[in-house]
Amino acid sequence: MENLDVMVLRTLRDWRAAGRRALLATVVRTWGSSPRPVGSIMALNELGAVSGSVSGGCIEDDLIDRHTRAYAAVGPQGADRHAHRIPSGPPVLVKYGITADEAHRFGLPCGGTLELLLEFDPDAALLEQLVGALAQGRLMQRTLRLSDGAVSLQPAQAPADLLLDGQQLVNTFGPEFRMLIIGAGPLAEYLSTMALFNGFAVTVCDPREEYRGAWSVPAARLLTGMPDDVVREFGPDARSCVVALTHDPKLDDLALLEALQSEAFYVGGIGSRRNNQARRQRLIEHFDQSEAGLARLRGPIGIYIGSKTPPEIAVSVMAEILAVKNGVRLPRDVAVGEAKDGLDLRLVGAQP
């Protein structure tokens, strides 16, 4: 499954290219608990089709009711094209969950409020340009002028938070997050499957024919080169993670060293505490690494859930990768001196 934002934008582009009226809703502010973060987007067309999400479903239902009910009442065949309720004109801001009754009605958490910006009939040519740039792996900034809905696009140098002021909305859209897995064993199949449905583009590298021959996840790209060469060619950036799963130092160690020289947001290797300590010692003794230079290397990888089987271990690893991606500080990242409330640091880590 592709990145959710890209999927929404591609769907919206296709609707507009086919002449369908549509709106783009963006979460621009939240107060208290909110089901979706700022920057989340969804698209809605005149027939009531939805792509993406701005809530758990109730706000989507309200938007469908407000903007497509009249069209549906006329009927899809021979319908009056003026019967739709998607308006024309500049973008508008709408709030949900301002009162306790509304929060209950729209299924928002207690005290939760969110504000949406609704943009009507986005330009199909500009959507095509944006989707094309994202497909090429480029980071793009989309600026929407609030006074008239005019849109401009330009390349972005780095990811940025959504910006809304009195004149414009600026949203940065990035290409898919990427995952490079070293090793094509059963654990890699489960992890790549989970990564795919979380919106990652997955590449798997294994020079061992006996492991590649049983590979069964066609949506993941399978490469046969030596892992360190593949890491260099892959070019990990700040939206990439590299995970070594072979248990073979000849394959994992050099690949991890290459990944540590990159901007990858996550670099980790499978193995027990003992094996990971042995790996660190090898890298220090044979490759002139320092403890500081290996600070970003994660291992044992995964959140501790008592996992033993490949699918369970994959769940723990994917959960840790998503936590790091989302900026969540995990217990294992807390220094012993910072441990509070009797936190048992012996339980930190995926595998014993």
Separation of alpha carbons 350 and 341, rounded Å = 22
Q: Which residue has the tokens 């990159």?
A: 262
Q: What pLDDT shows up at residue 77?
A: 53
CATH superfamily of 177-347: NAD(P)-binding Rossmann-like Domain (3.40.50.720)
Separation of alpha carbons 15 and 194, rounded Å = 29
**Cβ pair 168, 146 in contact under 8 A:** yes
The 10 Å Cβ neighbour count of residue 350 is: 27
Each domain of the chain, given as residue ranges in start order, spans: 4-128, 177-347
- Among residues 265, 241, 273, the alpha carbon closest in space to that of 255 is found at 241
CA triplet 60, 326, 187: central angle to 5 degrees? 100
Cβ-based burial of 332 (10 A; exposed 0-12, middle 13-18, buried ≥19): middle
Residues of the chain with pLDDT under 70: 1-2, 33-35, 56, 69-84, 98-111, 334-352
> Interhelix angle for 124-135 vs 4-17, to 10°?
150
Q: What pLDDT shows up at residue 108?
A: 62
> Interhelix angle for 273-286 vs 249-260, to 10°?
70
Interval 288-329: pLDDT, tens:
899 888 999 999 999 999 999 999 999 999 999 999 998 898
What is the distance in angstroms between the CA of the first residue and the CA of the last residue of the chain?
33
The tokens for 100 are 């306790």
List residues bridging with 23 in a β-sheet.
Answer: 44, 120
**Cβ pair 173, 40 in contact under 8 A:** no
Separation of alpha carbons 219 and 138, rounded Å = 21
List residues bridging with 269 in a β-sheet.
Answer: 244
Q: Which amino acid is at 290?
A: S
Q: Which amino acid is at 161?
A: D
Separation of alpha carbons 352 and 332, rounded Å = 13
Q: What pLDDT shows up at residue 255?
A: 97
Distances (CA, A) of 31 to 39, 98, 101, 119, 244: 14, 9, 16, 22, 40
What's the pTM value of the predicted model, to 2 decimals?
0.70
